[in-house]
Amino acid sequence: MMLSDQTIWGLETKANEIRQSIIEMLLEAGSGHTAGPLGMADIFTALYFKILKHDPKNPKWEERDRLVLSNGHICPVLYATMAHAGYFPIEELKTLRKFGSRLQGHPHREFLPYLENSSGPLGSGLSQAVGMALGDRIDRGPSSDRYIYCLMSDGELDAGNSWEGAMLAGKEKLRNLIAIIDRNNIQIDGFTEDIMPLENLRARWEAWNWHVQEIDGHNFSEIVSAIDQAKAIFEKPSVIIAHTIPGKGVKEFERDFHWHGKAPNKEEAKMALNELRTLSGKIRSEHE
Amino acid sequence: MNNLNPKIFDKDVEQVPIRKGFGQGLVLAAEKDENIVGLCADLTESTQMLSFKEKFPERFVEIGVAEQNLATVASGMAAMGKIPFLSSYATFSPGRNWEQIRTTVCYNNANVKVVGSHAGVSVGPDGGSHQALEDLAIMRVLPNMTVISPCDAIEARKATLAAAGMIGPVYLRLAREPSPIITTEETPFEVGKAQVFYQPNEKARVGIIATGALVYQVLLAANQLETEGLAAKVLNISTIKPLDEEAIINLAKETEAIVTVEEHQTTGGLGSTVAECLAKNQPTKIVFIGVHDKFGQSGKPAELIEHYGMDANSIKTAVRRLLN
């Protein structure tokens, strides 16, 4: 599907609002992850505002697509996007990581039942999504139109469990499974290729019988058309390697692995919000 | 008593592997409920999932030698309304995939049934690497998890049906070798309920609390002790968690001391859970029979049970020493 300029502009605006919410909630929480959530804001926006079959007013709707977040530490972007999509009040985002909050430091569906899974320990989400796709196929057969999306990080591909899931999905030809890898090249100790090289990433997935696409993870047209193409592949699961910039939207945070696992302080948050609100200085009427 | 097998003390008492009861129970449960699915990690025949696989091929998933995947895929299937039973050897599952069971099964409160076969030294010749002696401890410590350890194949069949019928994570512990049939169809079985399996004619001086196939050794010991003038009452604990605290407290109140018997490390399993219960409610002298901080090894099952001090004679000796 070709996106109109107006649609793209609408998604970009929404993603910008979500990035602002991420900064605000991390500042309030005083801890958490910054780089991954900012980097994945465009993909989450595309999913919740364009791609997913879902109903925020009826979160248990049986026909909904399932979204599994495997790398739970980027949950600020999940929470912020869900709040903006109408699952719960945006005001609640400020409770992130606090005692009694539904927004646990890593997602826990016993606290927030709108989630499809709890996550945090890395490498287990893809297999859960594989299980969902298998369960769906048993009930609906191979032409089911419920899709299972797994959002995962590149760093968690160090974990054997990730590849166990990938092998099984390839063997089972799970066509309604679509994995999206946040290929931002960083993990907590440094750059992925220094910590544990993942390349040739495309070849690895192809070897397990997956359909592989590589996209610019900040380009809404590419995100949406990659999903369309994934849905058109009938014999294989699909993986979309989304090249993203960690910290995207705030220049001072971008591509710096030190921002993987820390939250901005008051000054940094003020700077980041200003940069987001002024669209990196393009809006000059912002006085803060 | 308690409708046990009348031939229990016969020399030719029927012997069936506990794991077989699981295999039968799974097929029965699956006939009743189409949501039941089976997942196995390349041990379909020896964990007795084969009849299920043959009868319901479309509901069976072969995972391969990948126990972490076994647990996580099951969690995903449960999220879609399925009731997954996953089976492997207990050293591998829940051994290798403990964190996956913790997070994707228990933390999610997913309706997944983990079946660990080949528990205990009675696995025999395969040796210590394949003899799970820690599984009760690592499953019992997880919130939301129910832990069941049947004493024979009949109880294993009932436990499998019960696990299928209840909502929430369950761990079911099975043994490999043929072991005596202790119970009958009429023997009561309820998750969370202990059953008196031996009631001496005179007032019992000692209470023996046992789980798994060793319940048979305990019954032999109690029977012989009674003829030798020492009265022991035996409690079969098929549900390690939630523990039937009332039955244990009452047994401690009516006897002088308690002996626990399990084919498991004496730390963390049945003995520990009984000790925790009695320390809180009815402080009592306890002797722990089981494996004492050692790994297993190759040998014949009976040889190994004797070597680690878990046979009827060792139990009798321990009881006598405790009361003297």
* Cα B48 to Cα A268, B18, B173, B176, B255, distances in angstroms: 60, 10, 13, 10, 40
Residue B67 has pLDDT above 90, yes or no: yes
Query: Per the CB < 8 Å rule, is B37 touching A139?
Result: no
Residue of B59, B61, B69 for testing the chain A interface, max A β-carbons within 10 Å: B69
Residues of B in contact with A133 (CB under 8 A): 76
Please tell me the pTM assigned to this model.
0.96
Per this entry, what is the length of chain B?
A: 324
Question: Which is catalytic among the residues B54, B58, B62, B67?
Answer: B67
Stretches in chain A below the pLDDT threshold 70:
1, 285-288
Cβ of A117 and B58 within 8 Å?
A: no
Catalogue all structural domains in chain B, each as residue range(s) with its CATH number. 16-180 (3.40.50.970), 195-323 (3.40.50.920)
Indicate whether B61 pLDDT > 80. Answer: yes
3-state secondary structure of B84: strand
The 3-state DSSP class for residue A251 equals coil
Residue B250 has which token pair? 């009452």
Q: Which helix (H) or strand (E) holds B7?
A: none
Domains of chain A and any CATH numbers: 5-277 (3.40.50.970)
pLDDT confidence band for B1 (50 / 70 / 90):
low
pLDDT of residue A63: 97
Distance CA B102, CA B89 (A): 18
- Burial profile A119-154: b = 16 or more Cβ within 10 angstroms, e = fewer: bbbbbbbbbbbbbbbbbbbbeeeeeeebbbbbbbbb
**Is the pLDDT confidence value at B278 over 60?**
yes
DSSP string, A37-50: HHHTHHHHHHIIII
How many inter-chain contacts (A to B, CB under 8 Å) are there?
Answer: 100
For A238, other C-beta atoms within 10 Å of its C-beta total 25
Task: Pick from A60, A117, A152, A176 the residue to mutate for testing the B interface (most B CBs within 10 Å).
Answer: A117
Contact partners, residue A279, CB within 8 Å, separation at least 6? A16
pLDDT value, residue A282: 79
Q: Which of B64, B76, B81 sits opposite A130 (nearest CB)?
A: B76
B61 → chain A, closest CA residue: A134
Q: Which two tokens mark B243?
A: 């523990």
Task: Pick the closest to residue B89 from B107, B65, B60 (CA basis).
Answer: B65
Question: B268 is written with which tokens?
Answer: 């963390």
How far CA A28 is from CA of A85, A165, A216, A260, B273, in Å, comes to 21, 36, 31, 17, 43
Please state, as a whole number, how many other Cβ atoms lie within 10 Å of the Cβ of residue B16: 16
ipTM of predicted complex: 0.94
User: Contact at 8 Å (CB) between A165 and B72?
Assistant: yes
Chain B residues whose beta carbon lies within 8 Å of the beta carbon of residue A168: 61, 63-64, 66, 69, 73
Does the annotation mark B67 as catalytic? yes
User: A222: phi > 0 → left, psi -120 to 50 → alpha, else beta; which?
Assistant: alpha
The pLDDT tens digits for B140-159 are 999 999 999 999 999 999 99
Residues paired with residue B86 on neighbouring β-strands, in sequence order = B39, B114
Query: By a Cβ cutoff of 8 Å, what residues of chain B touch chain A?
Result: 37, 58-59, 61, 63-64, 66, 68-69, 72-82, 84, 99-100, 103-104, 107-109
Length of chain A: 288
Q: What is the pLDDT of residue B319?
A: 97
